[in-house]
Chain A
Amino acid sequence: GENVEQHPSTLSVQEGDSAVIKCTYSDSASNYFPWYKQELGKRPQLIIDIRSNVGEKKDQRIAVTLNKTAKHFSLHITETQPEDSAVYFCAAKDRSGGYQKVTFGTGTKLQVIP
């Protein structure tokens, strides 16, 4: 099955600075990489995703890059704001066993300091 590693586990940035979270995956067959934001006690919310046929995707202050050869992908948040503070999870679509399940990374707790 898929194994997803995520770094760093915690990240503190000053408001307005950029934040970068990195993930690696093990299964070269994975072709879908979503990123989720989870606030305390709430459900994960999809914030951006990227498919294996593109290398970069941007949505306002959020961007994701994918390097298929190296099997790693990153989340970039620019001009961070206090409301960006949350736990972020990367994930990779795993098709082992015939079921398309998503394997999550270990999470990054992002704190944006006003």
Chain B
Amino acid sequence: GAVVSQHPSWVICKSGTSVKIECRSLDFQATTMFWYRQFPKQSLMLMATSNEGSKATYEQGVEKDKFLINHASLTLSTLTVTSAHPEDSSFYICSATRFAGRSYNEQFFGPGTRLTVL
């Protein structure tokens, strides 16, 4: 169990367009989902924390109007990169935590989405 999927796995778009990435927990209800960005040879940088039914909490330096997050249900969160630019090209990874009645909730990662903005 505890499978997280992401769609699409890769996307190429033109500069100025918007791209939506979906993150789904397939066999569990995710209390919280996280969105990360990873540049080549670098670590995962948390962009925002998303809780179902409430506004996402963005990390410092992440523009909430550019990276729109919607957590519509306990199994789906979406990240929309608006007006994408080449510098937004990156590997975007989501993760989901499953409530286990204690504070050590394991994170399950999606397979990632490779975004290339031309």
Chain A interface residues (CB < 8 Å from chain B): 31-32, 34, 41-46, 49, 51, 89, 93, 95, 97, 99-107, 109
Contacts beyond the supplied A32-B103, A109-B41: 7 A-B pairs with Cβ under 8 Å:
A41-B91, A46-B106, A51-B104, A97-B57, A99-B49, A104-B44, A107-B42
Contacting pair A31 B43 (CB below 8 A): no
Q: How far is the CA of A89 from the CA of B91 in the complex (A)?
A: 16
Residue of chain B at shortest CB distance from A45: B109
Is the CB of B67 closer than 8 A to any CB of chain A? no
Is the CB of B93 closer than 8 A to any CB of chain A? yes
* Closest Cβ–Cβ distance, residue A100 to chain B (whole Å): 6
Residue of chain B at shortest CB distance from A4: B43
Is the contact region of chain B dominated by helix, strand, or loop, or is it mixed? Answer: strand
Contacts known (A104-B44, A105-B43); A32 close to B104, Cβ less than 8 A: yes
Residue of chain A at shortest CB distance from B45: A104
Residues of A within 8 A of B104 (CB): 31-32, 49, 51, 93
Residues of B within 8 A of A46 (CB): 106-107
Q: How far is the CA of A76 from the CA of B42 in the complex (A)?
A: 22
Contacts known (A105-B43, A107-B42, A107-B43); A43 close to B105, Cβ less than 8 A: no
Contacts known (A42-B112, A43-B109, A43-B111); A101 close to B34, Cβ less than 8 A: yes
Is the CB of B75 closer than 8 A to any CB of chain A? no
Closest CB pairs A-B (n = 7) = A43-B109, A99-B49, A32-B104, A104-B44, A104-B43, A106-B43, A107-B43
B90-118 CB mask vs A (1 if < 8 Å, else 0) is 01010001000001111101111010000
Is the CB of B68 closer than 8 A to any CB of chain A? no
Contacting pair B46 A101 (CB below 8 A): yes
Q: How far is the CA of A85 from the CA of B61 in the complex (A)?
A: 33
Is the CB of B32 closer than 8 A to any CB of chain A? yes
